[in-house]
């Protein structure tokens, strides 16, 4: 490429860092790419850092030493959480979403790239994932959200399946009891998907009693992996005591009243008061 001016180099650096959150780029990488001295790149990165932090768009971490590098860490403020989660709530409160049995139609929200990109960044701001190896979810509705969390944290995604598949090689399967329906369900995962001794964060779209999350935790034990965090987009208020203890919901669904056509859903207050 032609020689870039400072402004242009900064623009290019931001694009590359934004597309690859939590990935370390060395000064040499940029210095080769732009045919510029490392000292010049260092100055560009100082500006990038100031801009991202002044505008509350991300955190920029620089590492010194032989390697010397930089990475972008997605972060949302309490104010941004309020906006993101408020928008989702207002969309989900539409009474046309009420389905027979008091279920809520929400796949359009769960599969909207724009919305769940933000959800991924909200989750990334809630967990300490420094030592985490994988994001784990179970098919199907939670996959897009879990992928966006994995992308924000730069971690591989693991999807537990309902059935064994020939394309996964030898698998481990477990049965678990769905807490809300009491039905016995099954999940399976390829033996080679997770390295023993790993740490994982579980992400799902919805939690009622917590049976599915418990199933995932049990499955992780089969792989000698430790669950260090659980996040769900929506948790129901009742039952207040879930089968799992530690989990972070972004939204609380208190009630869907079929007769009155009312949906009572609101953001988890803990996320609106940080800093």
- Per CB under 8 A, residues contacting a copy of itself are 1-2, 4, 6-12, 14-16, 18-20, 23, 33, 47-48, 50-52, 54-58, 99-101, 103-108, 111-114, 117, 139-141, 143-144, 147-148, 150-151, 154-159, 161, 166-169, 190, 192-193
Considering the complex, what minimum distance in angstroms separates the CB of residue 65 from a copy of itself? 24
The values of phi and psi at residue 59, to 5°, are: -105, 140
Euclidean distance between CA atoms 122 and 22, whole angstroms = 15
The least CB distance from residue 168 to a copy of itself, in Å, is 6
β-sheet with 262-267: strand ranges across:
157-160, 134-138, 199-207, 226-236, 248-257, 262-267
DSSP 168: G
Nearer to a copy of itself by Cβ, of 144 and 231: the residue is 144
| Closest distance to a copy of itself from the beta carbon of 98 (Å) | 9
CB closer to a copy of itself out of 192 and 221: 192
Give 66 or 166: the residue with its C-beta nearer to a copy of itself. Answer: 166
User: Minimum distance between the CB of residue 245 and a copy of itself, rounded to whole angstroms?
Assistant: 26
Identify the DSSP state of 206.
Answer: E
Residues in the chain: 275
Give the helix ranges, DSSP H, for 62-158.
Answer: 78-92, 107-110, 113-126, 143-153
Residue 42's φ and ψ, nearest 5 degrees, are -55, -45
Shortest Cβ distance from residue 104 to a copy of itself (Å)?
A: 7
- Quick one: 56 or 270, whose CB is closer to a copy of itself? 56
**Distance, CA of 182 to CA of 201 (rounded, Å):** 25
| Nearer of residues 270 and 274 to a copy of itself, judged by Cβ | 274
* Least distance in angstroms from the C-beta of 157 to a copy of itself: 4
> Between 104 and 220, whose beta carbon lies closer to a copy of itself?
104
Residues 6+ apart with CB under 8 A from 256: 98, 102, 103, 104, 262, 263, 264
User: Which residues make Cβ contacts (< 8 Å) with residue 105, sequence separation at least 6?
Assistant: 96, 97, 98, 99
CB of 162 to a copy of itself, least distance (A): 9
- In the complex with a copy of itself, the residue whose CB is nearer, 41 or 58, is 58
Q: What are phi and psi of 86, to 5 degrees?
A: -60, -40
Rounded Cα distance, 108 and 85, in Å: 15
**Which two tokens mark 248?**
């972070």
């Amino acid at each position: 490429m032609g020689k870039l001016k400072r402004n242009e180099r900064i623009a290019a650096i931001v694009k590359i860092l934004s597309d690859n959150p939590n990935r370390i780029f060395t000064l040499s990488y940029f210095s080769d790419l732009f045919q510029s001295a490392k000292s010049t790149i260092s100055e560009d990165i100082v500006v990038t850092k100031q801009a991202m932090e002044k505008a509350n768009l991300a955190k920029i971490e620089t590492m010194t030493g032989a390697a010397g590098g930089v990475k972008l860490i997605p972060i949302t403020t309490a104010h941004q959480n309020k906006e993101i989660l408020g928008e989702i709530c207002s969309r989900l409160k539409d009474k046309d979403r009420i389905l027979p049995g008091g279920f809520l139609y929400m796949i359009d929200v769960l599969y909207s790239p724009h919305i769940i990109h933000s959800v991924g960044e909200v989750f990334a701001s809630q967990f300490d994932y420094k030592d985490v190896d994988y994001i784990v979810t179970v098919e199907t509705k939670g996959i897009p959200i879990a992928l966006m969390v994995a992308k924000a944290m730069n971690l591989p995604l693991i999807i537990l399946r309902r059935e064994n598949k020939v394309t996964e090689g030898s698998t481990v399967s477990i049965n678990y009891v769905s807490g809300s329906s009491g039905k016995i369900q099954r999940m399976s995962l390829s033996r080679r998907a997770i390295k023993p001794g790993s740490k994982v964060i579980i992400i799902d779209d919805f939690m009622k009693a917590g049976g599915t999350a418990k199933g995932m935790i049990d499955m992780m034990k089969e792989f000698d992996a430790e669950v260090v965090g659980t996040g769900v987009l929506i948790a129901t208020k009742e039952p207040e005591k879930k089968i799992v203890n530690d989990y972070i919901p972004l939204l609380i669904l208190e009630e869907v009243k079929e007769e009155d056509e009312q949906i009572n859903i609101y953001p988890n207050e803990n996320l609106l008061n940080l800093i």
